[in-house]
Chains A and B, each alone.
Chain A
């Protein structure tokens, strides 16, 4: 089970609830257990309205605390780079996977920031 993060756009209603029926996927990123645990403290619950327009539900999404998340990701990137040379081939392969996921996640966060937010839409990084 990899965790899949999805950059997605939702319309919102007057109560700031995400409207499930309006969901548009922009891009996705699969991350493994280590990176998943790294971002766990930054996951928040967002309220949404089901497509039937009656029932509410909650979805997990990466918070908008971009600077704090990037600081955590940068620290982990530095650790992996600094210890890379002293590792054996198998551990190097693992480090490369982690680095790929961390850098891809930074890119995804940056894409969310660049996305065109409006009074009627939200761009989120949800866990699917």
Chain B
């Protein structure tokens, strides 16, 4: 099985758990793994408040402060890798913002973190006024654990 297909499956698991535990959260997967996707592995439908709540509560930081208030749509580009996301990958993610102007925010996810060059690319996109967020594989795992706890305890 390809790394990409496996990675999308893992990311789907997080979406599925969030959809079960959050009032507004829904997601769609627009293409198969063998289809050109313009950097859209998933589309997320939620609210700014809901995404901020999850981020603050589980990760202890606000990844979504630059989103507009109210209902929001984000595109997610997921990277399955045992390494850090490089500057080259981050550059492509930022370049894909122009191909996806209808969404409110852009979420890069997966891998073991960002290299300093990748962080520079995302910071530059933020400074240019784009709502850009990053969640590592570890962040996604923490969200999964939190959601499973909520489901198991019917909170």
Interface residues of A (CB under 8 A from B): 1-4, 6, 8, 20-21, 23, 25, 28, 30, 32-34, 36-37, 40, 45, 48, 50-52, 54-55, 57-60, 97, 126, 128
Q: Judging by beta carbons under 8 Å apart, are A36 and B4 in contact?
A: yes
Q: Judging by beta carbons under 8 Å apart, are A128 and B89 in contact?
A: yes
Q: Judging by beta carbons under 8 Å apart, are A1 and B7 in contact?
A: yes
Interface size band for B: 20 to 34
Bound complex: CA A1 to CA B116 (Å): 24
Bound complex: CA A42 to CA B2 (Å): 14
Q: Is B153 an interface residue (CB 8 A)?
A: no
Q: Judging by beta carbons under 8 Å apart, are A51 and B87 in contact?
A: yes
Q: Judging by beta carbons under 8 Å apart, are A59 and B86 in contact?
A: yes
Quick one: closest B residue to A52, CB to CB? Answer: B116
Contacts of A36 in B (CB 8 A): 2-4
Contacts of A4 in B (CB 8 A): 92
Q: Judging by beta carbons under 8 Å apart, are A32 and B34 in contact?
A: yes
Bound complex: CA A36 to CA B80 (Å): 13
Bound complex: CA A42 to CA B3 (Å): 14
CB of A102, distance to nearest CB on chain B (Å): 14
CB of A122, distance to nearest CB on chain B (Å): 13
Bound complex: CA A8 to CA B91 (Å): 12
Q: Is B37 an interface residue (CB 8 A)?
A: yes
Question: Which chain B residues (69-90) contact chain A, with CB distance < 8 Å?
Answer: 78, 80-81, 83-84, 86-89
Q: Judging by beta carbons under 8 Å apart, are A8 and B88 in contact?
A: yes
Q: Is B137 an interface residue (CB 8 A)?
A: no
Quick one: closest A residue to B93, CB to CB? Answer: A128
| Given A1-B5, A20-B116, A50-B115, 10 other A-B residues pairs in contact with their CB atoms under 8 A | A2-B35, A3-B2, A3-B4, A6-B88, A23-B91, A33-B2, A40-B2, A50-B116, A55-B115, A60-B81
